[in-house]
Every structure is written in structure tokens, then in C-alpha cells.
A and B are shown apart, each in its own frame.
Chain A
Amino acid sequence: MIWQFDIIILIFLVITAVISLRVKDLLAASMVFGTYSFLICLLWAGMGAVDVAFTEATVGAGISAVILIATVYNTRRDSSD
């Protein structure tokens, strides 16, 4: 693992986590959460955990984002905080 990449991705991870919790639009929060999953998938691929990265790419960035958006579609898009 190249540690410079590691540190850059970790900083981006914290930024996307904070954004997805701060933004008031739940659809945007779901999309940013998908970005977060994709970044953490990159991190694991870099650390040599290829199977975990593969699972995260399919499950985290794919299915979780889709089912979050499906729920937001069926409920309300705005949030108070």
C-alpha cells in the first residue's frame, strides 16, 4: 500500500461522512453515502483486501445507496437536520 494514497483517501472519507450527515436533502445524503462507500472500497483494494473491496463495491456503493433512495422516494426528501 502506498501510504500517501492511504492518507488522502482517509481524509476524503471523513469529509464525505460529515457531508452526508450535514446535508439537509436526504437524496443528496444517500448519494454522498454511496460516494463514501466507493472511497472505502478503494481504500480496501489498496490495503490488499480485494474480496472485501469487491463486496463493498457491489453491496455498499450499489445496493445500500439504491435501497436508501427507494425509501427516500417513498417517504420525505427533506430533513430537519
Chain B
Amino acid sequence: MKWVGLIAVIFTGGLLLSAMDDFPNWGDAHSPANASPVSQYYIEKTIEDSGVPNMVTAVLADYRGYDTMFETVVVLIAGIAIMAILRVMNGVPGGARPSPAHEIGDQHDIIIGTTCRLLIPVLQLFALYVIAHGHHSPGGGFQGGVILGASFILTAIAKGLDPALERLPEKRYVKLAFVGVVIYSGFGVACLLLGENFLDYGVLQVLLPTIDAAEARSHSMLGVEVGVAFTVSAIMFAIYANLASKGELEGGL
């Protein structure tokens, strides 16, 4: 098996490496990928169309809004799949294992507890900043959502899974994950109801407190980023909580 794998890998790698010579040079501003009219349009027209300085956020949430919406749905489905695979309800044989780590987690370590109590609010505030400031600086719904989810994971690691689940119970994070997708698609449906294409935010200027279509696009981008952040943060915590406790949602790492 090893030899077959090695031969296949060397053959494929050799083919790819020999093709690499035909590639445009690294950093070439006029390579086909960089000179394509689509990329040039994004760079030139973003500020005019939506007034958002961060082109990546503008392309993510506006020009390619369908893509991002269904990526969010993929994350939601992955979270549901993990719960479907792992989650065991109470009273199932094999559950209620008194793990040694659980006892260690019960001893209150004063250094870790104090550090986390100081760190977690700052972390969550930073996550909100990253979400809200995503169109002016690096950041956005995905990054901010992951940081928000990571703050709950930090609670779970430092104090045990049960205190973390008290703050964000299973019912609540499942609801949050769905609310995120509903917010995102709600913006699309609102555009449809106002007589435009799905996710064409310009028409939302009659609903939002804005002066023109470009500003409406900017505000709608913030709205869909908030939706993305809801789903991503809830699902990241769901993945950790289920994987760390074998789906029992108690004890665990």
C-alpha cells in the first residue's frame, strides 16, 4: 500500500510541478487572474457602489452574497450533522462516565479562573468590534463569530463544560444558529418584496435610515455579517461541546 501511494504521489506531483513552469510569475500584476475584468471591477467600483473601503467584505457580502449565504448554510448543516452523529440523550447506556478530568475541572484553580474572568469580556467585546468594523478594517462575520464562539470555548476549557452550558444552553445555541441564517435570508427576501432581485440591497434604502443606495448597501452588509456571526459562533461552540463530551454535554475536556 505504501509503495502504491508513493508512486501515485510522485507521479501526480511530478505532473503538477512540470505544469508549474507555465504558470505566470509570482507577484505578476498582469497575470490572467489579476488582469481579469471581474477583479478590476471589484477594486475600482467598490467605493462607488457601496462606500465600503474593505473590498473583501464588499465582495463577500454584496457582490457574491449568494455564495456566502450558502456557505453559512453549509456551516449550519455541519453543526446539525455533528449533533445528529454524536448527541446522546440522558439515560443511554455508556453515558454518565465519571471522567478524571471532570474532577480536576471541579477544583477551582484561582489563577485560571481569574485570568479567564478578566480575559473573556475583553475577548467578546473585541469580537463585537470585529463584526461591526468589518467593512473598514480586516474582519467581518466569520472572524468575529469564531472569536465569539472561542470565548465560550475558553469558558468551557477553564471552568468545565457545565458553567459554559449554563451561559449558552443547547436550546439557545441551536436557535441562535438558525436565527443567523434567517437574518441573512431575511435581507434577501426584503429585497424581493420591494421588487428587486434577491440580495440586491440597494433597494433597502426606503427601510434603512440612509441617504442613498450606496449607504443602504453598506448598512445591509453589516446586517448580513451579524447573521453570519450568529450562525458561526453558535455552531463553533456546538462543535466543541459535542466533540469534547462525546455528545453527552456534561463533563468532558
| Partner-B contacts on A (CB < 8 A) | 1, 50-51, 53-55, 58-59, 62-63, 66-67, 69-71, 73-74
A70 to B130, CA, bound (A): 27
- A62→B56 contact, CB < 8 A: no
Whether A58 touches B150, Cβ cut-off 8 Å, given contacts A51-B138, A51-B139, A73-B101, is: yes
The answer to whether B146 touches A62 (Cβ under 8 A) is yes
Cβ contacts A to B, 26 pairs, < 8 Å: A1-B27, A50-B138, A51-B138, A53-B138, A54-B130, A54-B138, A54-B139, A55-B142, A55-B143, A55-B146, A58-B143, A58-B150, A59-B146, A62-B146, A63-B236, A63-B239, A63-B240, A66-B157, A66-B240, A67-B239, A67-B243, A70-B253, A71-B243, A73-B101, A73-B244, A74-B244
Separation in Å of the B128 CB from the closest CB of chain A? Answer: 14
The residue of chain A having its C-beta at the shortest distance from the C-beta of B243 within the complex is A70
State A50–B139 Cα separation when bound (angstroms).
Answer: 9
User: How many B residues face the partner with a CB closer than 8 A?
Assistant: 25
B residues at A contact (CB < 8 Å): 27, 54, 56-57, 101, 130, 138-140, 142-143, 146-147, 149-150, 153, 157, 236, 239-240, 243-244, 246, 252-253
- How far does the Cβ of B177 sit from chain A's closest Cβ, in whole Å? 15
Given contacts A51-B54, A51-B56, A66-B153, 8 further A-B contacts (CB under 8 A): A54-B143, A55-B143, A55-B146, A63-B150, A63-B153, A67-B239, A73-B253, A74-B243
Q: Which residues of B contact A73 (CB under 8 A)?
A: 101, 244, 253
Assuming the contacts A55-B146, A59-B146, asked whether A67 and B240 have C-beta atoms less than 8 A apart, the reply is yes
Contacts of A71 in B (CB 8 A): 243
